[in-house]
Amino acid sequence: MKTIPISELKLGMYITEIAKCRSNFVLKKPGFVTSQGSIDALVGKGVELLSIDPSKVLPGREPAAAKPAAETPKTRYDQAPVSVELEMEQAKALYSQAKQLQKKAFRDMEQGHKIDVDAFKDMSEGLIDSVFRNPQALTMMTRIREKDQYLLEHSLNVGILLGVFGRYLKLDEGLISELVTGGLLHDIGKIRVPEEVLHKPGKLTSEEFEIMKRHVLHGRDIIQENEVTLPAVTMEVVLQHHEQLSGTGYPHRLMGDQISRHGRMTSVVDIFDALTGERVYKKAMLPTAALSIIRSMAPDKLDQELVNAFIRCINVYPVGTLVKLQSGRLGIVTEVNEKAPTKPMLKLIYNAKHNRHIQVEMLNLAHIDSDKIVSAEKPEAHGLDLKNYI
């Protein structure tokens, strides 16, 4: 361990504990410094000295050997990407931290406390950093689902996918940050939906659906009660994620140009993640099937241009999808191939013909002609749990 002053703390360092602080602030658990916002927050809490583990470095960062100012990327778009393998460890850590933040927010609201909106902004910056280092690592994390955690994972996944989508569209970094924050907060109002409606295993009655639809306005109210002013884009994500171009959405039945581009983006992402998530009243849908449904909803309900862009962004077989090859082998998509969407990079894990695991190996379908994808598969149909392989 090494103790350093707060002035020497850099992105990528791994903090183990707070050594000296002017307040009573205590680090809840060790972790990487993922954004400048994290450093600013520590300064604001009065941290003066902290301990770091020099042996742990965030993939893609080298804090101990800073580059000359002239070589420092001006924006995240300028930085050199890292491999999925290098980014995966940090993506897992960020995903776990974000879920804990969501849990804390819900717990705070249940106890009548205000939520820490700044913490969501800070988490957004960390997620965006990872997306720009390699968008496929966090995208893969959105494919790992835990039972009974849909609400937590859905908001997080929407935030991540908005970040990935925003990067693909080459939006301004500040705008992407506002989108991701909105994604993390977009379903916060569901905490005020009665449990018997929120987790009802069957179809909602018309009266129950009206209650469910109020979660959007509950979300707005919660944010206002916290006495914070969020950017217009963030609020558009919160308020417009269920609006549809046809005017059949809610809560305000907006039509056409009344829905902002950011609201339209969120509608596409929200529907995709909802369809591919396990719910109390329905099974998860394969990503390929979900994309087909989204495509059918344009241009009547969803923006055709954005739907097409989203499909190109995450690919025909999104990262994290389990696919079956003509040979009977099963593999997880680990990297997409923009030039040949049906020939991604795979991690082979199973032989469906012989119902047995095989030695894990990487296969780039773009480099072979002897095998090809024949279908996307549900992991549970083969007794597989993707989190054991990602």
375 - beta bridge partners? 324
Q: Which tokens hold the place of 319?
A: 């990262």
Residue 269: predicted pLDDT: 98
pLDDT at 49 over 60: yes
Of 62, 183, 65, 52, residue with least CA distance to 128: 183
Cα–Cα–Cα angle for 220, 223, 226, rounded to 5 degrees:
150
Break the chain down into helix, strand, coil percent, rounded to 5. Answer: 50, 15, 40
Residue 218, burial from CB neighbour count under 10 angstroms (0-12, 13-18, 19+): middle
Of 76, 250, 268, residue with least CA distance to 161: 268
Residue 226: predicted pLDDT: 86
Q: Residue 185 and residue 188: Cα distance in Å, rounded?
A: 5
Residue 147: predicted pLDDT: 66
Query: Could you read off the pLDDT of 92-136 as tens digits, one per residue?
Result: 999 999 999 999 998 888 888 888 888 999 999 999 999 999 999
CB 167, CB 286: distance < 8 Å: no
Query: Could you read off the pLDDT of 232-283 as tens digits, one per residue?
Result: 999 999 999 999 999 999 999 999 999 999 999 999 999 999 999 988 778 8
Query: Could you read off the pLDDT of 349-386 as tens digits, one per residue?
Result: 999 999 999 999 999 999 999 999 999 999 999 999 99
Query: Could you read off the pLDDT of 57-81 as tens digits, one per residue?
Result: 776 555 444 444 445 557 899 988 8
Residue 124: predicted pLDDT: 96
H or E element: which one contains 98? helix 84-110
Q: Which domains does the chain have, with CATH numbers?
A: 2-72 (no CATH), 81-314 (1.10.3210.10), 322-388 (no CATH)
Beta strands across the sheet bearing 14-21 = 2-5, 47-52, 14-21, 31-32
Residue 73: predicted pLDDT: 58
The single-letter code of the amino acid at 113 is H
Which pTM does this prediction carry? 0.81
Q: Is the dihedral angle over the CA atoms 115, 129, 161, 165 positive or is it negative? A: positive
21 - beta bridge partners? 47
Q: Residue 244 and residue 241: Cα distance in Å, rounded?
A: 8
Count of alpha carbons within 13 angstroms of residue 144, beta-carbon side: 16
Query: Could you read off the pLDDT of 280-336 as tens digits, one per residue?
Result: 778 889 999 999 999 999 999 999 999 999 999 999 999 999 999 999 999 999 999
Query: Could you read off the pLDDT of 185-227 as tens digits, one per residue?
Result: 999 999 999 999 998 988 899 999 999 999 999 999 999 998 8
Residue 61: predicted pLDDT: 54
Q: Which tokens hold the place of 34?
A: 């993922």
Confidence class for position 8, pLDDT limits 50, 70, 90:
confident
Residue 67: predicted pLDDT: 47
Residue 374: predicted pLDDT: 97
